[in-house]
Amino acid sequence: MGETTAAPLDPDCIFCRIVAGEIPSDRVYEDDEVIAFRDLAPKAPVHVLVVPREHSRDVRALAERPALLAHVTRVASQVAAEESDGDFRLLFNTGPTAGQTVFHVHAHVLAGRTLAEGEL
């Protein structure tokens, strides 16, 4: 396998600090690989972030770990089933011009209402 950009924790990363429990979050799921918590600025009635515990910059880096990427999507599906009707939009912002503001890969799980095409 190629070079990985994953690291256990980055002390300057807000999501690493959330994972470590240094910053509180409204967690809806956690296991050994990921945590899921409610977004502080929700764009839908259900807006949960699924965050790998290990630091990776974005989904391109996470793609180097396909089992973990698959786990993130499974957790997203589980969260949508528990928090809404099971339908959901899964979004990864990748890079600053795509709207990524925290450079620790995270999936946005959006659900709880009809989401229009082109929205978000």
**Per-residue model confidence as pLDDT tens digits over 24-48:** 999 999 999 999 999 999 999 999 9
Q: Whole-angstrom Cα distance, residue 115 to residue 44?
A: 8
For residue 117, is it within any domain? no
**The pLDDT of residue 5:** 46
Active site annotation includes 71: no
CATH number, position 32: 3.30.428.10
Q: Where are the alpha helices (DSSP H) in 2-50?
A: 14-19
> 47, 55, 104, 106: which is the annotated catalytic residue?
106
For residue 72, is it within any domain? yes
For residue 7, is it within any domain? no
Burial label, 71 (beta-carbon count in 10 A; 0-12, 13-18, 19+): middle
Over the stretch 59-108, which tens digit does the pLDDT of each residue have? 999 999 999 999 999 999 999 999 999 999 999 999 999 999 999 999 99
- Considering its fold, how many domains does the chain have in total? 1
**The pLDDT of residue 8:** 62
Q: How sure is the predictor about 7, in pLDDT bands with cuts at 50, 70 and 90?
A: low
Sign of the torsion formed by the C-alpha atoms of 20, 21, 26 and 27: positive
Range of the domain at 88: 14-111
- Please spell the DSSP secondary structure of 62-114, one letter per residue: HTTSHHHHHHHHHHHHHHHHHHSSS--EEE---SGGGT--S-S--EEEEESSP
Beta-bridge mates of residue 51: 35
Residue 3 has pLDDT above 60, yes or no: no
For residue 1, is it within any domain? no
Whats the size of the chain, residue-wise?
120
For residue 64, is it within any domain? yes
**The pLDDT of residue 115:** 81
Q: Which residue has the higher pLDDT, 22 or 5?
A: 22
